[in-house]
């Protein structure tokens, strides 16, 4: 019996020593991807990664500055052409807008949908309205109160617009939109 206890103890000590040695060979060092300049602190204290030069960063800076002054064009790939159906990148942009608006409980915006420039003013007006409503519904599903969102259609329906949707601070006349990097 004492001999089997000694063998068991020796095996236990050997395994414990091996485990301790293997822990020492692993480094706890890691490399941080990106830069701390890519981190944006939101109004509610939350943080997001938004590298400089991206649409997400421009939108974060715009809302962080009170969304005053110029309006903000969300881009020309927010919706499928001639449709109010959001694209994959459009869903990402709308989600970012929702996150940013969620961090600023008092910010109100105007959502201005633009038609497709089809030459048919009735169809363009309807498409512009549907696009505005699609974004408003998306934001409402993410907890943004509808009272914070005002929906409008493009006042210049007769001409093509460089983006499919523009947002502006509520109570302000939308000016030429702040166009940003595509990603």
Task: Tell me the per-residue pLDDT of 138-166, one tens digit each, with 9 for 90 and over.
Answer: 999 999 999 999 888 775 655 555 567 77
User: Which structural domain range is residue 160 located in?
Assistant: 37-169
CATH code, 83? 3.30.1330.60
Q: What is the pLDDT of residue 179?
A: 39
Residue with tokens 């490399």: 31
Residue 62 is assigned to a structural domain of this protein = yes
Helix (H) or strand (E) holding 146: none
Tell whether the model's pLDDT for residue 134 goes beyond 60.
yes
CB 15: neighbour CB atoms within 10 A?
A: 10
Residue 16 is assigned to a structural domain of this protein = no
Residue 57 is assigned to a structural domain of this protein = yes
Q: What is the pLDDT of residue 137?
A: 96
Specify whether the CB–CB gap between 70 and 176 falls below 8 A.
Answer: yes
Q: Where do runs of H (alpha helix) occur along the chain?
A: 2-25, 55-64, 88-103, 121-141
- Condensed to tens digits (0 to 9), the pLDDT of residues 93-118 reads 899 899 888 888 878 888 888 887 77
Q: Mean pLDDT across the chain, nearest whole number?
A: 76
- Condensed to tens digits (0 to 9), the pLDDT of residues 10-19 reads 777 776 666 6
Q: What is the pLDDT of residue 40?
A: 81
Answer yes or no: pTM beyond 0.85: no
Domain count, the chain: 1
Local confidence band at 181 (pLDDT 50, 70, 90 cut-offs):
very low
CB 18: neighbour CB atoms within 10 A?
A: 10
- Condensed to tens digits (0 to 9), the pLDDT of residues 31-79 reads 666 667 888 887 778 788 888 888 788 888 877 766 565 677 777 788 9
Q: What is the pLDDT of residue 76?
A: 74
- Greater confidence, 132 or 75? 132
Residue 41 is assigned to a structural domain of this protein = yes
Residue 102 is assigned to a structural domain of this protein = yes
Q: Count CA atoms within 13 Å of residue 16 on its CB side.
A: 6
Report the distance separating Cα 154 and Cα 140, nearest Å.
Answer: 21
| CA-to-CA separations, 21 to 18, 30, 41, in angstroms, rounded | 5, 20, 42
Q: What is the pLDDT of residue 120?
A: 83
All residues at 6 or more sequence positions from 164 whose CB lies less than 8 Å from its CB, including other chains: 74, 75, 76, 77, 78, 79, 113, 114, 131
- Greater confidence, 6 or 38? 38
Residue 135 is assigned to a structural domain of this protein = yes
Residue 105 is assigned to a structural domain of this protein = yes
Helix (H) or strand (E) holding 120: none
Report the distance separating Cα 102 and Cα 45, nearest Å.
Answer: 11
Output the six-digit token pair for 167: 């947002």
Residue 19 is assigned to a structural domain of this protein = no
Q: What is the pLDDT of residue 6?
A: 72
Output the six-digit token pair for 123: 């169809």
Buried/exposed code over 112-133 (b: 16+ C-beta within 10 A; e: otherwise): bbbbbeeeeeeebeebbbbbbe
Phi-psi region of 18 (alpha: psi -120 to 50; beta: other; left: phi over 0): alpha
């Amino acid at each position: 019996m004492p001999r089997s206890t000694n063998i068991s103890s020796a095996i236990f000590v050997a395994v414990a020593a091996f485990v301790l040695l293997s822990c020492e060979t692993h480094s706890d060092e890691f490399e941080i991807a990106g830069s701390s300049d890519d981190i944006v602190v939101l109004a509610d204290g939350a943080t997001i990664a938004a590298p400089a030069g991206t649409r997400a960063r421009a939108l974060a800076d715009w809302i962080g500055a009170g969304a005053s002054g110029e309006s903000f064009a969300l881009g020309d790939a927010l919706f499928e052409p001639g449709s109010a159906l959001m694209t994959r990148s459009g869903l990402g942009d709308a989600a970012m807008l929702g996150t940013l608006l969620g961090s600023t409980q008092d910010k109100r915006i105007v959502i201005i949908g633009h038609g497709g420039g089809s030459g048919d003013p009735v169809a363009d007006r309807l498409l512009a309205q549907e696009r505005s409503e699609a974004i408003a519904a998306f934001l409402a599903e993410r907890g943004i109160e509808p009272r914070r969102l005002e929906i409008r259609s493009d006042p210049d329906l007769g001409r093509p617009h460089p983006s499919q949707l523009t947002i502006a601070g509520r109570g302000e006349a939308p000016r030429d939109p702040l166009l940003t990097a595509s990603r």
